[in-house]
Amino acid sequence: MPDAIFANPQLVAVYDAFDGDRDDLEAYRAIAEEFSARTVIDLGCGTGVFARSLATSGIRVIGIDPAQASIDFAEAAAASASADVDFRRGTSADIPSVDADLVTMTGNVAQVFLGLDELRGVFADCARGLRPGGHLLFESRIPEVRPWTDWAGRAPRTLTVEGIGEVTETFVLGQIDLPFVAFTHLYRFADTGDTIGSQSRLRFHEKAEITSALEQTGFTVREVRDAPDRTGKEWVFIAEKLQ
């Protein structure tokens, strides 16, 4: 089941405001151009920011997300931007066999898959949607960096969101039971007085675990790059589907 931050319409409506400019997506756009991708599947597309960006460049994009509220928001935003994206509610199991050039999982989507069997299943589903020689592109935080130590000191943030009003986000670090880290986002809406929480749990995969899961599902790792906007903090995996 998707976290409330993606599934609750009130939280989805403020998600992009708190997520910021998403400078990380520029690197993904550059890689899509590097591979001359004409068909891209964006798995875990969320509110559709990346999918819309690709579509406005003339790329065919299929955006898939399990949260209906996120898909609804993404479709409305795409319509406003005249971006032609095929948004679908679903999971990796719903990836179509379309011989895509590229499958992407931005925003550390790979970390929401808590079991290694689950991760392998997702990779196998991605392979089904790709043409031979197509690529899977995603990032994962480096566990040795221990980013949760910085998360613990986050101060509450208050933003004024157009059409909604003043909203305060509070981050609460939860249980750390490596490789798992739990946390909660709390959002207080000043105009209504509502406070809505969203609990999340991530797995901090080791590089060898990810590489093994890819190799077991028909991929070879072509390159592991550094995330340009978070140097030394994340791995960006580029895996190629074998013939």
Global pTM?
0.95
Cβ atoms of 193 and 168 within 8 Å: the answer is: no
Q: What is the mean pLDDT of residues 27-41?
A: 95
Q: Is domain 4-142+205-241 annotated with CATH 3.40.309.10?
A: no
**Residue 109, token pair as written in the block:** 């989507």
Q: Please check the confidence at residue 53 and state whether its pLDDT lies above 80.
A: yes
Q: What is the pLDDT of residues 72-122, one digit of tens each?
A: 999 999 999 999 999 999 999 999 999 999 999 999 999 999 999 999 999
Q: How far is CA 81 from each of CA 25, 51, 58, 60, 76, rounded to the nearest angstrom?
A: 18, 12, 13, 15, 9
Q: What is the pLDDT of residues 152-163, one digit of tens each?
A: 889 999 999 999
If 0-12 CB within 10 Å is exposed, 13-18 middle and 19+ buried, where does residue 81 land? Answer: middle
Taking the C-alpha atoms of residue 176 and residue 44, their distance in angstroms, rounded to an integer, is 24
Domains of the chain, residue spans: 4-142+205-241, 145-202
Taking the C-alpha atoms of residue 199 and residue 165, their distance in angstroms, rounded to an integer, is 23
High-pLDDT (> 90) share of the chain, %? 92
Q: Are strands 157-161 and 165-177 parallel, antiparallel or unpaired?
A: antiparallel
Predicted confidence at residue 77, as pLDDT, reads: 96
